[in-house]
Amino acid sequence: MMFNRFKKYGALVSCLFLLALARAGAEEHPPRFSISMDVTMNRYKNCAFGHALTVEFNLFDFMANGVSLNGSDDFTVATVLEPSVFARKYLFTLFFVQFDLGMSISIEKNNSAVTALAGISGGFQCLLAKGDYVLEPYIKAGYPFIFGLGLRVGSRL
């Protein structure tokens, strides 16, 4: 019983904890807010079109951390919500590798299922307007989704 509660609320607590930590370093590294659109293979039959809201913080000089809320729908059977936390490493200030941990909430007609989420993604960033805006095409793989392709657009405050 206790494990089920942790499974349901673990990602939410992790996201709130990461946001509280990020507020401490917001003066020297302002957060980046972004939205993305992607195509994800959440099911073995149909791909799903999705979108995400992401907040990225540079808590450390060697990597970026953040929270993400993804949502996707295959327009026939399933809707999937995926809150997660991530750690991102930039390589040569152009390419990045990102690791995601969170949970996946799948809703099919009257049934719902909560599973763990783990993924890896990679892509490159194109900085616009002296680094205040960013455009990032990416590819991802993981569990419970199989793969995904997307485009993220973001801005620093």
According to the model, what pLDDT value does residue 81 have?
87
pLDDT of residue 21 exceeding 60: no
3-state secondary structure 119-150: EEEEEECEEECCCCEEEEEEEEEEECCCEEEE
Is pLDDT above 50 for 153? yes
- pLDDT at residue 123 tops 90: yes
Q: Cis omega before residue 30 (within 30°)?
A: no
Domain boundaries, the chain: 2-156
Q: What is the pLDDT of residue 2?
A: 43
The model's pTM is 0.76
Give the pLDDT of residue 50: 86
Report the pLDDT value the prediction gives residue 3, as an integer from 0 to 100. Answer: 44
- Tell me the pLDDT tens digit for each residue of 28-70: 567 889 999 988 887 666 778 888 888 888 777 778 888 899 8
Q: How far apart, in whole angstroms, are the C-alpha atoms of residue 59 and residue 44?
A: 37
Domain 2-156: give its CATH architecture.
Beta Barrel (2.40)
pLDDT value, residue 119: 93
Report the C-alpha gap between 123 and 129 in whole angstroms.
20
Instruction: Name the average pLDDT for the chain.
Output: 80
Question: Regarding predicted confidence, which is higher, 68 or 110?
Answer: 68
